Structure formats: C-alpha cells, structure tokens
Amino acid sequence: MINFARNYRWRPRGRLFLPIKMRTILWDYDKHEVQMIDQRRLPARLEIVAFRSHQDIAAAIQNMIVRGAPAIGAAAAFGLALAARESKASDAAALLSDLETAAQTLRASRPTAVNLAWAVGRILRIAYSVTGSIEDVRRAILIEAQRLADDDVEVNKRMAEHGVSLIADGDTVIHHCNTGSLATVDYGTALGVIRMAHEQGKRVHVLVDETRPRLQGARLTAWELEQYGIPYEIISDNMAGHFLRRGQAQKVFFGADCIAANGDVANKIGTYMLALAAHDNSVPTYAVAPTSTIDLSLAHGGLIPIEERDPGEVLDIEFQGERVTPQGARARNPAFDVTPNRLITAIVTENGIVRPPFDKNLRTLFTG
C-alpha cells in the first residue's frame, strides 16, 4: 500500500471540495495500480492510497479503507485485474486457477456485502469466456472491471432519479451510515437521492446519526454533506426515536449490503432499530440499493451471513481522551443487522421503486 498526497481546492470558508471527476476508487492506467480514498482518515485528512496486489485490495476491504457495498464490489473487480497481472501462469488454464484463488481471498474479506461476490462472479465469467492468449484474458478482465466501475456511477444516478420523487420540499430526513460517493464509485445510493433533491432546489435537511461503533455517519456522511452544501445536524443513534416521535423527521433513508428475495434488508448495524422507531411513528422508510445487492437465492434475511468484527471497535472508543470501557471488558460487534420487510415502505433501485409485496415485486426487476 502506497500513500501519496494530492492537491485539492478549498472553499472560501475553508471546507474541502471533492476534486472534479475524483472517484472513490479508480485504476491508474500509467502505473497499473488501484487508487482509493482512505476512508479511515476522513474527515481529518483526505489521503489517496495505491495498491498493486489483490491481497492488499482484500486487506483494504477488510480494514475498511474502502467500504460501502458498491465500492467494495468495484474494488474486488479491480483486485482481480491486479491478480491477473500478478499471475506467473504460462497458459490460460493456470491463469484461471490463480484467479479462482484470488477470488476466494476477495470474497472472504467482507462476507455480508453481496455486491462483492456479485462483482467477483461477473469478472470470472468474462475471464472464462475469453478464447485467446493470457494477455487477452488480462485485457478483458481490466476492461470489464472498468466497465463495472463506470456502470456503478450511472446506476447511482438512475436510482437518484427514481428516488428523488420520495423527498418533498422542506423534508427533514434521518440518514443512517454512509451511502454517498464514498460508499460507491461516485454519486451515492441513499445519499445520492438526497443529493439530487438538493440539486433540484428542494429544501432538505438531514439528521445524520453517528452510526456507532465506527461512526461512518458522523465522520463520512457529515463530511460529504459539507461538500454538497446540504444542511445537516449530527445526532447520536439513540436520538432518532425522539425526533421521529415529535414529528421532526418526515423520512428515513439508508442503503443496503444485501437484500433477500422477500425484501428483508441487511444493512449497517442500527438500521433495524431505526426502522422500528420509524414504523411506530408512521414515518416512511426507504432502502436505496442497486439490483446487484439483491440476492434472490436467499429466501429471507435470516439466511444472510452477518459479519462479526473486532470487539476493539467497540471497546477502544475514547471520551475526552480517556478510554470509555473498563480494562478487561468484553464486547460483541456484529457489523450488520437485518430489517424485516414489514418495516420498509419501499426499495429504490436503478430500475424503479419497488413496493410490497417484495417477494413478488423484487423478482420483476430481473424478469423484465
């Protein structure tokens, strides 16, 4: 992994602009490396890191240098392009064997995010379809990985175009985790919908919950809203019910890492409790995700694997410079929870807005 600085433009008030055409993840065609924004460093500093092996890409996914289901998928696709370059194979069969090994490493890095396995499968299908030299396979893999990344940007914009109708002028929206450009190749899923509403001139205010324990809301979503000029306030996760009960939030938006065939949604831990509070107060709740996040092979959310992360993410939090938890304390740290479909008003995809019954209507996205 290589760190290097970039020049950035600054607003008059000192807030950082995202550089024009800058993506969360990209392939450098001159250096043959993958470059990403290191999301662990935000908002204190904006760093770009470079990777030249698929093992480093897998570590970056696991360590959350890159995160967000669509961004993870693109990272894995480019990871296989690196694996193809790394391979010392002398024939196509040996190269495909090396790619399968690399694919296993990449798939294991974040088991809940279905986009990761989807992206790996898409690249492998291309690799197996090529009839030609090893260089032909390598070239086809990189072309497909780039196409996947470019498609993600267009998919995000199409989701926003569908979802923007759900936000009314003057709405206050509670947003969970981070679903903006940082969670995708560019533009965003749920935050992309909010962004487009703002760009259309709608007055929208965002209550950004912190999203503990890694605080993606407070660190990343708040930072992105600063760049977009969208008004926001940060709240702790356990404040959401208060604002919903008092009628001070009209909508709830979040993304998804996996959606089962019946519309159950696996998303960042805390989504379930937020959806429960919204449902109890009759506030519409929307999941925004590409169709690549939908896994029709899973009948319901109970079959979605839930990643358990290092307990240190919970135990090592500090307050005013002091550790919060006692030495020797133990913790549990599931990274995701499953929100039952009965709590979700609609799911926004690039192919349209899907409403209940989800077990029937989600399938129509794939059957035309």
Range of the domain at 268: 162-367
pLDDT at 15: 46
Q: Is the pLDDT of residue 18 over 70?
A: no
- Answer yes or no: do 70 and 210 share one domain: no
- Using one digit for the tens of pLDDT, what is the confidence trace for 107-156? 999 888 888 999 999 999 999 999 889 999 999 999 999 999 999 999 99
Average pLDDT over every residue of 89-109: 94
Average pLDDT over every residue of 14-37: 78
Active-site entry in 257, 264, 295, 337: 257
Q: Which of 157, 181, 211 is the last residue of a domain?
A: 157
- Answer yes or no: do 181 and 326 share one domain: yes
- Answer yes or no: do 89 and 29 share one domain: yes
257: annotated active-site residue: yes
Average pLDDT over every residue of 249-259: 97
Q: What percent of the chain has pLDDT over 70?
A: 94
Contact criterion met (CB below 8 Å) for 39 and 72: no
- Answer yes or no: do 290 and 244 share one domain: yes
Q: Is the pLDDT of residue 38 over 60?
A: yes
The confidence band for 94, taking pLDDT boundaries of 50, 70 and 90, is: very high
Q: Is the pLDDT of residue 17 over 60?
A: no
- Using one digit for the tens of pLDDT, what is the confidence trace for 153-178? 999 999 999 999 999 999 999 999 99
Q: Which residue has the tokens 């912190």?
A: 210
- Answer yes or no: do 134 and 233 share one domain: no
- Answer yes or no: do 201 and 153 share one domain: no
331 φ, ψ to 5°? Answer: -150, 160
Q: Which of 142, 157, 172 is the last residue of a domain?
A: 157
- Answer yes or no: do 115 and 197 share one domain: no
The confidence band for 368, taking pLDDT boundaries of 50, 70 and 90, is: low
- Answer yes or no: do 269 and 324 share one domain: yes
pLDDT at 112: 81
Global confidence as pTM: 0.90
- Answer yes or no: do 192 and 302 share one domain: yes
Task: Give me the CATH number covering residue 204.
Answer: 3.40.50.10470
- Answer yes or no: do 327 and 263 share one domain: yes
pLDDT at 107: 94
Q: Which of 139, 157, 175 is the last residue of a domain?
A: 157
- Answer yes or no: do 153 and 301 share one domain: no
Task: Give me the CATH number covering residue 88.
Answer: 1.20.120.420
- Answer yes or no: do 191 and 140 share one domain: no
Task: Report the domain count for the chain.
Answer: 2
pLDDT at 121: 96
